[in-house]
Structure 1
Amino acid sequence: MLTHKGPTMHVLVIGAGGFVGRHLVGRLVANGVSVTAAGRDPVRLAQALCGVSTIRCDLARDSADDWLPRLRGMDAVVNCAGLIRDGGRYAMVHDQGARSLFDACYACGVSRVVQVSALGADAGATTRYHLSKRAADDYLANLDPSGSRMDWVVLRPSLIIGRGGQSSALFGALAALPLTLRLGRGRWRVQPIHVDDLIAGILRLLFREAPIAARIDVVGPEPMTTDALTASVRHWLGLAPVPVVRLPRWMLAAATRLGIGPVTRESLTMLEAGNIGDVDPLIAATGLVPARLGVALARTPATDADRLAARLMPLTPMLRWLLAVVWLAGGIVPLVLTPAATNRALLAQVGLTGTPAIAALVAGAVLDIAIGLALLARVSRAAMAGIVVMLGYTAILATTMPALWADPFGALVKNVAILGLALAVHALENDHG
Structure 2
Amino acid sequence: MLLVSFSFVKMAPAFPLKVATINVRGLAEKRKQSQLYRLVTERYIDVLAVQETKVDDDEATSSMVQRFASRFYVVVSHAVGTTAGCILFVKKLPGLQVNAHFSCAAGRCAVLDFTLNNTEWRVVCVYAPNKVEERALFFHSLEQRLSEARQLMLLGDFNCVLSAHDKTSSRGFRDQSTDVLTRIVEQWELEDVAECVKCDSAVKYTRYEGPSYARLDRIYVSVDILLQCTSYNVVPVSFSDHCLVQCSIGITKRSHSFSWETWKLNNRLLQDEQFNLTVKAEIAKLDPGKNLYIWQQWELCKETLKLKAIERATCIRQDEKRKEKELKAILEKLLKHEYRAPGKWIDDIRKVKQKIEQLDVERYRGAIVRARAEDTAAGEMPSKRALCLEKARAENEPYTRNRMGRFCIN
- TM-score, with normalisation over the residues of structure 1? 0.31
Higher percent of residues as helix: 1
Given the two structures, how large is their TM-score scaled by the length of structure 2? 0.33
Larger RCO of the pair (alpha carbons < 8 Å, separation 6+)? 2
